[in-house]
Amino acid sequence: MRTETDRKAVLEARRARVKMPRTQFYEQMLPGIFIGLGLLLISLILGLVGALLGVGASRTLDTGPTIGVHAALPFLSTVIMVVFATGVLSRWAARRSLHFLFWGIGLTLFALAAFAEAYFAVRPFNYAMFVVWYTGGALLSAAWIGHGTFMLLVRRPAWRRLVSGLLVVGSLAALVLMLRTPLDPSRAVAGLPVSEWYRNVLPQGAPIRLTTPFFNIYGTLTLAGGALWSSYLFWRKRVMPDRVLGNVLIALGTLAIASASTLTRFGVGQYLYLGELLAAALMFAGFRFAAAPAPAPPQAVSAEA
């Protein structure tokens, strides 16, 4: 028959097997991962600064990738985001948690905007597709995805209702503004990414163009800031390394699309499709890491004869 000492030794051994991978991850792998991701972030920032400094030399519309690449990149982004949005909305249907609903709506808007980009790579200008692209991509997707993170982290019902109401009302107002904005289809350039000629189609000084920074800044701050804050909390407690890495990947994906969108706003639109694909891949991978089930706690060892 096992003694009490033997049972305690077996229990401690099982606990060690659960904790050891986390300890090794934090002490050996995580610093290297953070260094690599930090270098990637620095390269994104340097690329953004360099492109902005060279705006005057980067705005020619007769160069760039082939039409096939223009269609392939947003098509791949569409596929990733459709799978991503389907998974998130299925979680909302199962759990009825509002943060999954806002994430799912934002990801669906992202997917629709990416599909519109693929459409414009092979088809002529279409009013409905342009509205879908600008409203879903340039305006609302980041804010709705970021608001999902806000709903996850903020627990006070009054703040949740207030900010959610502002987002819904602001989104409807932006849609009305977009539908009332006159467009100039003759200035669309067939065969080039929509991100390189949309500024010509929209009238200068249109109110809809003044609303985009508010939605995008809110979405970037809540999504990237919330992901980094969650990652820090898990890292400080030395628990759930998958969620640490997952949230860092989500934050990097957010910064990637934010950088590409900023370049597009300054007239350097040729990097938007690549930034979207990078963002879609990083955020989807981050969600898969962060959604991984936590390891089961060690079970007590029953006495054996």
pLDDT tens figures, 226-263: 888 888 888 887 778 778 888 888 888 888 888 777 77
Which pLDDT value is given to residue 32? Answer: 55
| pLDDT tier for residue 56 given thresholds of 50, 70 and 90 | very low
Q: 52 or 68: which carries more pLDDT confidence? A: 68
Rounded CA separation 50/238 (Å): 37
Average pLDDT over residues 5-22: 50
Q: Copy the structure tokens of residue 212.
A: 């985009």
- DSSP letter assigned to residue 187: G
| pLDDT tier for residue 264 given thresholds of 50, 70 and 90 | confident
Rounded CA separation 137/144 (Å): 11
Which pLDDT value is given to residue 5? Answer: 57
Rg (Cα) of the chain, in Å, rounded? 23
| pLDDT tier for residue 144 given thresholds of 50, 70 and 90 | very high
Exposure of 275 by Cβ count < 10 A (0-12 exposed, 13-18 middle, 19+ buried)?
Answer: buried
| pLDDT tier for residue 45 given thresholds of 50, 70 and 90 | low
| pLDDT tier for residue 89 given thresholds of 50, 70 and 90 | very high
Average pLDDT over residues 163-167: 96
Rounded CA separation 153/158 (Å): 14
| pLDDT tier for residue 289 given thresholds of 50, 70 and 90 | confident
The per-residue pLDDT of the chain, averaged, comes to 78
CA atoms within 13 A on the CB side of 124: 3
Which pLDDT value is given to residue 66? Answer: 46
Lowest mean pLDDT segment, chosen from 104-113, 142-151, 188-197, 277-286: 188-197
Q: Among candidates 40, 51, 113, which has minimal Cα distance to 262?
A: 51
Lowest mean pLDDT segment, chosen from 167-181, 222-236, 261-275, 276-290: 261-275
Exposure of 226 by Cβ count < 10 A (0-12 exposed, 13-18 middle, 19+ buried)?
Answer: buried
Which pLDDT value is given to residue 240? Answer: 80
Packing angle of the helix pair 272-290, 98-122 (nearest 10 deg): 150
Rounded CA separation 276/267 (Å): 16
Which pLDDT value is given to residue 301? Answer: 40
Q: 60 or 113: which carries more pLDDT confidence? A: 113
Q: 258 or 133: which carries more pLDDT confidence? A: 133
Domains in the chain, ordered, with CATH? 65-290 (1.20.1070)
pLDDT higher than threshold 90 for residue 30: no
